[in-house]
Structure 1
Amino acid sequence: MSARHAAGRFGLLRAGRQRVVVLIAVATVGLGLLLTMFDTTGHGVAERSTGTAAPGVYGTPGSGQSPSARLGWGFTHTEYSADRGTAAAEDSAGRLLAAQPLPQNQAIMGWGADNPEPSPGQYDFNGLDSRIALIRKTGGTPVITLCCAPDWMKGGARGATDWSRIEAAPTPDHYADFAQLAAKVAQRYPDVHDFIVWNEFKGFWNDSAQRWDYEDYTRLYNLAYRAVKGVNPRNMVGGPYLNMDSMPPGSKDNSSSVSGPWGSLDQRVVDALDYWKRNKAGADFLVVDGSSTTHDGALVPDDFTATEKFNDLSRWLRQDTGLPLWWAEWYVKPDHTVWPENRLMAVQATAMTQLAEGGTDTAFYWNPESESGDCSGCLWTGTGADQQGGTPLPMMNLLRRFAAAFPPGTAFRSVTVDNTKVRVLASDRTLLAVNTTDQQITAHIDGKAVNLGPYAVSWTNR
């Protein structure tokens, strides 16, 4: 998430037993097995861990699957997820996730995970163990985001955690320590094969030059890349997790030649990506994130057309880097804006069609789960709310339906539509049609009349 989004979304990062987001990777460890401990340091190691998966068995984790950079459609865990709440609600959410396993993303610190190394060589993996256990138990594909850094790596006190400084990057003299922590994490969870290095260049902004400090980020990236590969050469590692910030049409400030009706990509983002491409130690996939809004939070020329940014940038990024493309986060509305649920689902569905058509290989939906579950766009009702928690909400239904209908490598077919207000995506088996208006309309899709309610998201199987 970008610096301008940090205040709202980093509000989910708090001290104490908070749960953190981890990127989903392929789970190959049997259900209910104890978490394996590893010592990757040369000095005394102290660890605190639950050591066991959460109770209950919901699904069957994958076994013997090969690491892949094409995971499809999944979601990112935030502070309040399905491993925290009443027993009945946690069980309901767990069964929901196991019914159709998806890639799941979790960070090593924050978003539900504690400080993994409060002091050098002193580890606390309780929060992260809980999330990985949840992913394993529900059969998901686990991915781990290597962010953020313990306080002592960024000038803070040993043994302390100041969650207000979660966005600070390690100081250069601790880059190697962070890489060692990355190796420790990779060894601890041998069934996790997909790793993202850092998050949105947090702490890597050069104020004096008014640009990203891509030199230092790339140094950190290269050390972490080599460390994770050193644990298992088959592990998949990617970056740089840049925010695809864009300027409004006609803007002269930092505008690049990568443009569309939605505006133009910030030239400082292009510069950072170019440097990383030329100087990276290696990469198995490219990671970005972003919103269909402009830098100023506007939707140009409207909320649906603005989503074409995802298509245009996905095509450009794939051509520019030649790497499999991951969107670690994607957003469709300005911060602190509330839309009716049907409008939100229609714009979300349209954004997903744009990402898919652009050639996205992996995409994670940032699940804005709250303790009560009373939030726009949540995937399930809050597990801490009551005994009815953990039941699916419209966005979960959309995500699961889309993931099943359009997995990576889907061949899309051309569709004729006589109404410009209808957006479609079709394979040989499934057709998705979205009404982008708040009115009842009729459209002829491949010659067949289809009635669509206001902001309808319609599915047709052949």
Structure 2
Amino acid sequence: MGRHGWDSGARRWRFTALIGVGIAAIALVLTMCATLPDGNGSGNHRDGTTTDGDKVHGTPVPPRAAPQPELGWGFTHTQYSADEGDADAMRRAEDTLSARSLPQIQHIMGWGAENPEPSPGRYQFDELDSRVDLIRRTGGTPVITLCCAPDWMKGGKAGADNTDWSRRSLETAPGPEHYEDFAKLAGTVAKRYPDVRHFIVWNEFKGFFDDDRGRWNYEGYTHLYNLVYAELKKVDKEILVGGPYLVMDSHEPRDTTYASALKGPWGSVDQRVLDAYTYWNKNKKGADFVVVDGASYTRDDELLPDEFRATDKLTAVSEWISDRSGGLPVWWAEYYVEPGDDDDDRDGWSEPHRTAVHAAGLMAMARGGASTAFYWNPQKRGAGQCAGCLWRPTQRADGGGALPMMKLLSRFAKEFPPGTRYDETVRGAADDVPHLRVLADDETVLVVNTLDRPVKAEADGKSLDMKGYEVKWLAR
């Protein structure tokens, strides 16, 4: 779909200077030794790969208890994160992340990670290691998304220097003849990071659309999913696995081409997506949670009836999945409430406006029964605006500090963790209902002003003076 910038899969190049002829000579000797035919092949190859990909990396965090399928509210690492940049800024970013431990997603290829298996049986995990280490240091719950696939699994060339980072390549699924190879790669990743107990299989059905039949190839995805599920459970039966990570696309209400019964003033979810979910749900080998993805706006970027009421779609989808999941927790791997421009940037709103609509989106998912959701962190680097970023870019000397979206996400995670029982009786005064969004439990009330001007309002029996787009937390 390109929602989050397909080029963000490009490798984060690191440049290392060799100092002195002596160091260069030693490096050359070591490289030659590692590639001798009579070697055991476990060392680094001249292309930077290794054969011991399943060797446990670093110091895994011992589990405090059995993994739970409901994780709460977190975020996804993208092309740039807090594991590179100015040393002081990185420390500040880690302090920001450590202040409130959140679940954190990292993909195995792209979005900050290099090709994990450039050639069959030869692995390259340096950048994935770096991200897992960051999550460990900040006390987050690590989640790995098993996407994308090495080139040789999808018709491309093998070799670390042959990775094609184009959008077309990154969004290509492994060929059916390589489904088992991809499942084995998933098992290798699970063995390397034994403290990662939550895995999502693939991303947005990338490469699984059947153009000839005009529908999703849900049979192919489900076959791949079942192989990966079995492989991960073989590594550790306590590993939790979920899918199908479908994009819940919707069309405006008057478009009946792919209309479905899952609809509202915000539009109608594409029936082909619901068909794909139904097949996977019936034919999956097993699942510990159900993963979806989507935006409050339509495929044509329409926010209907407006940007706040459009988030009701997130409630409707969550309820629809909950009704069919057999009791499995509902996860949103990605959610979007602000349409992107031609470059997929979302910087048209002020930060208060953006924060208010995202708060409404979080409230909508929670109200629909979702227990886990991940904010797609559009982290950038260098100077300039970083709209919607969670922290100031760590490439800047003054970077690392929390931004408004991080403050919202952390507070929401603290106040409304998994298992929260929401109080549906809390409402604003009758005159205030049209321009307030309210979510409450026994201890806290969250109120959002959906207008870009100050208002006097009442919620939970309290009189409020609210600024335009203000997000206000009330203790009960």
Quick one: structure 1 residues 16 and 437, their matched pair in 2 at CA, closer, same or farther if it must change by over 3 Å?
closer
In structure 2, C-alpha distance between the alignment counterparts of 1:51 and 1:380, rounded to whole Å = 30
For residue 424 of structure 1, what is the aligned residue in structure 2?
Answer: 438
Pairing 1:67-106 to 2, within 5 Å after superposition: 67-106=67-106
In the alignment, structure 1 residue 459 sits paired with structure 2 residue 473:
yes
- The equivalent of 2:163 in structure 1 is 161
Alignment map for 1:224-373 (pairs within 5 Å): 224-322=228-326, 323-336=328-341, 337=346, 338-372=348-382
For the residue of structure 1 that corresponds to 2:305, the secondary structure is: coil
SS of the equivalent of 2:473 reads strand
Residue in structure 2 matched with residue 146 of structure 1 by the alignment: 146
Give CA deviations for 1:344-386 in whole Å, capped at 9, x if unaligned: 111000111111111111100000001127321000000012x
> Per-residue displacement from partner, 1:325-361 (whole Å, max 9, x unpaired)?
0000000011125101111111000111111111111
Measured against aligned partners, the alpha-carbon deviations of 1:178-221 in whole angstroms (never above 9, x if no partner) come to 00000000011100000000000000010111111111111111
Structure 1 residue 99, shift from structure 2 partner:
1.3
CA–CA distance in structure 2, aligned partners of residues 172 and 69 of structure 1 = 29
- Residue 28 (structure 1) aligns with: none
1:17 aligns with 2:27: no
Whole-angstrom CA distance in 2 between matches of 1:193 and 1:63: 9
Which of 1 and 2 has greater Rg?
Answer: 2
Q: Kindly tell me the number of residue pairs found equivalent between the two proteins.
A: 428
Q: In the aligned structure 1, how far is the partner of 2:180 from the partner of 2:418?
A: 35
SS of 2:223's equivalent in the other structure is helix
What displacement does 1:68 show?
Answer: 1.1
1:240 alignment partner, SS class: strand
CA distance in 2, matches of 1:446, 1:95: 35
- Name the counterpart of 1:389: 399
* Aligned equivalents of 2:427, 2:349: Cα separation in 1: 30
CA shift, 1:16, in A, is 5.1
- Give the whole-Å Cα distance in 1 for the aligned partners of 2:110 and 2:461: 51
Report the counterpart of residue 390 of structure 2 in structure 1.
Answer: 379
Relative to the length of structure 2, the TM-score reads 0.87
Partner Cα distance (1:210, 1:427) in 2: 44
- Greater Cα shift, 351-360 or 62-71: 62-71
- Do the aligned residues in 1 keep the contact of 2:7 with 2:165 (CA within 8 Å)? no
Deviation at 1:61, TM superposition (A): 5.6
The alignment partner of 1:275 has SS state of helix
Is residue 61–residue 140 contact of structure 1 (8 Å, CA) maintained in 2?
A: no
Q: Distance in 2 between matches of 1:192 and 1:121?
A: 22
Amino acid in the other structure paired with 2:226: N
How big is the shift at 1:65?
2.5
Aligned partners of 2:272, 2:41: CA distance in 1, in Å? 43
* Distance in 1 separating the partners of 2:89 and 2:110: 23
String of CA shifts for 1:214-265, please: whole Å, max 9, x gaps.
1111111110110111100110000000000011112111010111111111
CA drift at 1:447: 2.6
* Counterpart for residue 222 of structure 1: 226
Aligned to 1:441: 455
For residues 465 and 451 of structure 2, what CA distance do their matches in structure 1 show? 13
SS of the aligned residue for 1:237 comes to: strand
Tell whether the 8 Å contact from 1:62 to 1:139 is kept in structure 2 after alignment: no
DSSP-derived class of the 1:255 partner: coil
CA pair 411-246 structure 1, distance change in 2 beyond 3 A: same
Question: 1:53: Cα distance to partner?
Answer: 5.9
- Report whether the alignment pairs 1:133 with 2:137: no
Residue type of the partner of 2:456?
T
CA distance in 1, matches of 2:12, 2:124: 12
- Tell me the percent identity: 53
Structure 2 portions without partners, runs of 5+: 15-39, 43-49
Give the CA deviation at 1:10: 1.2
Q: Is the 8 A contact 2:56 2:191 kept in 1?
A: no
Residue in 2 that maps onto 1:35: none
Shift of 1:44: 5.6
Please tell me whether the aligned partners of residues 101 and 139 of structure 1 are also in contact (alpha carbons under 8 angstroms).
yes
Q: 2:176 aligns with which of 169, 172, 178?
A: 172
In structure 1, give the amino acid aligned to 2:354: L
Q: Which residue in 2 is equivalent to 1:22?
A: none
For residue 448 of structure 1, report the CA deviation from its aligned partner.
2.2
Residues 61 and 138 in structure 1, CA contact (< 8 A), matched pair in contact too? no
Taking a change above 3 Å as real, the CA distance of residues 65 and 161 of structure 1, as seen in their structure-2 partners, is same
**Is the CA contact 1:288–1:329 (under 8 Å) kept in the aligned structure 2?**
yes
**1:375 and 1:48, CA in 2 relative to 1: closer, same or farther beyond 3 A?**
farther
1:147-171 Cα deviation digits (max 9, x unpaired): 0000000011110200111111101
Alpha-carbon deviation of 1:287?
0.3
In the alignment, which residue of structure 1 is the partner of 2:17? none
- Say whether the 8 Å CA contact 2:171–2:206 is kept in structure 1: yes
AA aligned to 2:184 is: Q
Are residues 1:120 and 2:131 paired? no
Given that 2:80 and 2:380 are in contact with CA atoms closer than 8 Å, whether structure 1 keeps it comes out as yes
1:184 equivalent in structure 2 = 188
Q: Distance in 2 between matches of 1:17 and 1:115?
A: 12
Contact 1:53 1:137 in 2 (8 A): no
2-structure distance, mates of 1:103, 1:253: 38
Q: Which runs of 5+ in 1 are unaligned?
A: 19-42, 55-59
User: SS of the residue aligned with 1:350?
Assistant: helix
TM-score of the two chains, using structure 1 as the length reference: 0.90
Structure 2 SS opposite 1:256 = coil
Q: Secondary structure at the match of 2:263?
A: strand
Alignment partner, residue 64 of structure 2: 64
* Structure 1 residue 266, shift from structure 2 partner: 0.3
AA matched with 1:334: P
> 1:321 Cα shift?
1.6
